[in-house]
Structures are given as C-alpha cells and as structure tokens.
Amino acid sequence: MEYSTKKVSDVLALFNEDGELAQYLQGDSIGYEGFQLFLKAYLEVNNVPPQLSQALFGSFQTMESQKQGDEQEVSLICLSDVSCYFSLLEGGRPEDKLEFTFKLYDTDRNGLLDSSEVDRIITQMMQVARYLDWDVTELRPILQEMMKEIDYDGSGTVSLAEWVRGGSTTVPLLVLLGLEVSLKDDGQHMWRLKQFSRPAYCNVCETMLLGITKRGLSCTFCKFTVHERCAKKASPCKVSTYAKSKKDTGAQTHVWVRGGCDSGRCDCCQKKIRNFQSLTGLHCVWCHLQIHEDCLSAMSPECNCGLLRDHILPPSAIYPCILDRQNLSSRNVDELQHLVPDGQALRIIPVPNTHPLLVFVNPKSGGKQGERVLRKFQYLLNPRQVYNLAKGGPEPGLKFFKDLSDFRVLVCGGDGTVGWILDAIDKASFPSPPPVAVLPLGTGNDLARCLRWGGGYDGENLGKILKDLELSDTVFMDRWSVEVIPLDPKEKSDPVPYHIINNYFSIGVDASIAHRFHIMREKYPEKFNSSWKSLFQWRSVGHL
C-alpha cells in the first residue's frame, strides 16, 4: 500500500455501473474473485499471494454474509466494509476519513445513519478491536453508548455533521478507525496503542492493564495511560504547547501527571517509587522529573525544563498574535493562520541562554524507525518543535522559527533528507543559517559519518543524544554549486535534479553504483523498506 499510487476511491470507481469491474458487484457485495481484483487494482500488483487473499477475504465475512453465501453457494463480503477498512490505512485528515466512512455506510443515501447502519459500523469496529488484541468483552455496549452520545439532537439518526463532530473527539472511534490525530492545543490527547513490558496502571480507574500483552492507550505528549474502555472518561491532556496570551508568558511551571515513573527513583528524596502495586508517583511532562506524591510540597512550582532546557521551547515562550479572542477561543490557533499577514499565528519569545531545537523527522527512513523517533521527541520536547516531513515538508517549521537567532536544527533521516533540509534553509534566506545536526536513519549515512554522528541509529537513548548535541562543535561543510551546460542546447535530456552538491562529488565507479542503487530503489521499493534490506541491496549492486 505504501508504494501504490491508487486510492480506495479510485478502485471503487471501477465497480460503478460503467466501470471495468461492475460485473463483479452483486448489490453492495463482491465475491472472492471480485475481491482479488480489488486487491490487484488497489496494490498495483499482478499477483497477490493466495494465502493472503483468502485470509483477508475471510476476515471480512460476517455471520450474515456466510449465511447468504450458503444460500447462493458463493461467499460474499460487503464492498463498503472492504473500502472503509483500507481507506483508514491511508494517510489523510481525520475529517476526510470520517466523511468517507459516513458515505460508505449511508447505504440508502439519505444523508443519515439509521440504527441498522450504525450497527454495521459497530460490527466493523469490533472486528478491528479483535485484530488489535483488545479485550472486547465489554466493548460493544461502550460503542453503542458512544454512538448514542454522537446523536446530539436525540433524533435516533446520525447526520454527517454529528458524525464528524463526534468522531473527531471520541477516542475509541478515532483509534478503531485508524485515524491519525493532528496536533491541537485544546486538551486533546495524542493516543496510540502501546504494549507495556512492565506492570502499568490506568490513570482513570487505577487498576492494572491485564493480559499477556498489557496493551493500553497511552498519550504521546503526557504518558497518560488508560484502558480502551476508560478512554472516554479520561481527563483532558495537560500539555499546552503555547501560552493563551502574551501576558501569560514568562516563567514555566511544572505540569504533573500521575504514573509514568519508569526510572523508579524519586528525584526529590532519592528513594524508590514503588509502582508495581498501584498507580503511584508523579512525572513532569516538561522537565521529566519523577517524584513521590508526598514530595510534591517540597518542590518549587517553577519548572526549568530539566536537563534538556537548552533544547526545549517551553509553552510559556510562545503566544498567539491574533487579537480576535472570540475566534481564538472557538477555533484552534493552527486554523487561523490565514488571518495573519505572514501566515504565522504564533510568535516566539527567545529564552535567554538557550538554543531551541527544531527537529525534522522523515518517518519512512530507517525501516520506519522515524515513526518511533517522532513520538519520542514529541514527549521530550515541545510538540511544536517536532515536524513530520511527510506532512508539509520543512517550510512550516522554518517559518515558525524564523525570528529566533540562536536555534539549531536536528535532521532525523538519511543523506537525502539532510540535503532537502539544507536546500530549504538556503531558500529561507536566514541572516545567519542555523547549525544542522544529523540523527542518521538512512542506509549509507555517509554525511552523518563524515560529521561523526555515526553510521546509523540503533535505538540509543535520545536524551543522551540531545546532550551530545548540546556539547558538540560547529564545523563548516563544503557545498558546491553545480551548473551543467549541454554541448547541444537543442538535445533533449533529463533536468538536473539539484544544483547544490553536499560534501562530495564523483564521476567514477562509486557514482555508477549509487545511480544503479537509486534506479533499483525506485523500481522495486518493497526491497528497500528497511535498513538491512537496503544495505544488502547496496552491496549486491556494488558486486555486479
């Protein structure tokens, strides 16, 4: 799916009345042959392994479809269920996905979800919950109650507006529909399904997460942890990424959350925090101190952001420049960028004697290591300092930091990602370009090796890496401006992809190997989706 250019909507068009696959549609259902053609079109492959096709087809079969299949001597599955599930694995805004889901299950096309259509959605979410190894014993009544709450006007049906509004704020629905939560500053948790290696307790009911896997929902920003059934009772996230007005800027205070004390030792009295019997201890989401609850009175309310204060941009140093308080209170500040002349609704007040870190993460680098690194940095730093390059590129982050003179940049990715960021910094025309560090997540990482950041990231402690960055020296790097002049201006040829070459340049055998490696990666991306696979292919190409 990651390398396919098709969207679910593109494949659904093939099943329309005048589509190529219309003959395989029986009402709103398709058989096994139609499902195989759906997979081939969606994944853009010639053959799908039969075991995979059969397993997926079976997972979409419900008791009703099996009975229907027995009567017709052919098994059928609902095309809407298939389309909904695969669409939820695609990237995109939660609002768009919710609208897509609504239209799929609104089978009578009357713009409302009735009780039978809502029940089908609940059945779909129950299937996903079983796949995620959730405890589904009490889940159905929870989902039914959740759907009743979404029906805000109590009409017995759910409109599109109610569905989008409720779906955007209802945690189990967001997680079970696979929706990516975007960064907002309205007390919304950034939930993810997490497996704990040690005893963990729910912040709502304070009982242990049970089962072999010890799975639960954990907030990326504050480590607030809950059972799936307790998610809707969770208190708002305490992490605020900016001050609500300029008068609220100044000293940063501690933000304490119960639990999450992984180290097991109190930073105040140095005694052990016993967290294997109940939900105990407090941790600060900014300085990451861990203390006993009884030690709270001995702590100063002011937070200095701890060992990583040189890198952290505290919320007390960020304020909105929008004067319309009514707009600001009713809508997220990120939605109001267009009201500001330069398109930047937030302003930064420099914190003396610090060098705030702007982090860019390529989530696809290093066999998906980037996704884990992204989450960890969102907890260690202010989430507004950490940017996913797959969502908008580097420009938003550079624009946000443009008025700071002493900030630094950390690029988490391969050599290509570093070159991309350096090019963006050039185009941003900073009076004094910020120094750039590298967390190598790529395959070769030649540039990171030259700068002595190592040949790859193997899960080392990111806090230690940030301290190394704080103490590192700034060095200059050669960057060449290259102009290619064709002998015959009339001759057609491929354009030069970049006019800046970083650090090294070659026209020999190694350049030939690099070029062949690039061609292979473009042609067979599935063979290069991890560091080990890429390294193996690099060596294979080198021996040819």
Domain stop point among 177, 199, 217: 177
Provide the pLDDT confidence category of residue 300 given band limits of 50, 70 and 90: very high
**Helix residue spans in 151-276 (DSSP H):** 160-167, 171-176
Does position 273 have pLDDT exceeding 70, yes or no?
yes
Provide the pLDDT confidence category of residue 453 given band limits of 50, 70 and 90: confident
pTM, rounded to two decimals: 0.69
Same domain, 375 and 507: no
Q: Is residue 182 part of a domain?
A: no
Give the C-alpha separation, 275 to 501, whole Å: 53
Count the alpha carbons within 13 Å of 371 in the hemisphere toward its beta carbon. 5
Q: Is residue 364 part of a domain?
A: yes
Same domain, 223 and 83: no
Lowest mean pLDDT among 201-205, 264-268, 486-490: 486-490
Q: Is residue 104 part of a domain?
A: yes
Q: Which residue has the higher pLDDT, 435 or 444?
A: 435
List 439's β-bridge partners, or say none.
412
Provide the pLDDT confidence category of residue 153 given band limits of 50, 70 and 90: confident
Provide the pLDDT confidence category of residue 392 given band limits of 50, 70 and 90: confident
Region of 306 on the Ramachandran plot (φ > 0 left; ψ -120 to 50 alpha; else beta): left
Residue 136, classified by CB atoms within 10 Å of its CB into exposed (0-12), middle (13-18) or buried (19+), is middle
Lowest mean pLDDT among 78-82, 268-272, 362-366: 362-366
Same domain, 353 and 204: no
Q: Are 57 and 77 in contact (CB under 8 A)?
A: yes
Residue labelled with tokens 């979404």: 150
Same domain, 84 and 197: no
Which residue type is seen at 485? I
Q: Is residue 513 part of a domain?
A: yes
- Average pLDDT rounded to a whole number, residues 180-202: 75
Evaluated on CA atoms 160, 163, 166, 168, the torsion sign reads: negative
Domain stop point among 479, 512, 533: 479
Q: Which residue has the higher pLDDT, 211 or 447?
A: 447
Over residues 22-48, the pLDDT tens digits come to 899 988 889 999 999 999 999 888 888
Same domain, 143 and 221: no
Rounded to 5 degrees, φ, ψ at 154 are 65, 25
Does position 255 have pLDDT exceeding 80, yes or no?
yes
Same domain, 488 and 472: no
Domain stop point among 233, 249, 264: 233
> Looking at residue 202, which CATH number applies to its domain?
3.30.60.20
Same domain, 169 and 197: no
Q: Which residue has the higher pLDDT, 64 or 426?
A: 426
Same domain, 18 and 163: yes
- What is the number of structural domains in the chain? 4
Same domain, 212 and 96: no
Same domain, 345 and 419: yes
Range of the domain at 527: 483-542
List 500's β-bridge partners, or say none.
481
Over residues 105-141, the pLDDT tens digits come to 787 878 899 988 888 888 877 777 776 666 676 678 8
**Helix residue spans in 89-114 (DSSP H):** 94-105
pLDDT at 325: 44
DSSP per-residue string spanning 136-155 = -TTHHHHHHHHHHHH-TT-S
Give me 133's structure tokens.
Answer: 């190894």
Q: Are 409 and 433 in contact (CB under 8 A)?
A: no
Give the C-alpha separation, 495 to 499, whole Å: 10
List 194's β-bridge partners, or say none.
216
Q: Is residue 333 part of a domain?
A: no
Residue labelled with tokens 């609500």: 244
Q: Is residue 34 part of a domain?
A: yes
Give the C-alpha separation, 416 to 36, whole Å: 37
Same domain, 474 and 491: no
List 226's β-bridge partners, or say none.
217
pLDDT at 429: 85
Give the C-alpha separation, 264 to 340, whole Å: 46
Smallest CA-to-CA distance from 260 within 312, 311, 194 is with 194
Same domain, 33 and 131: yes
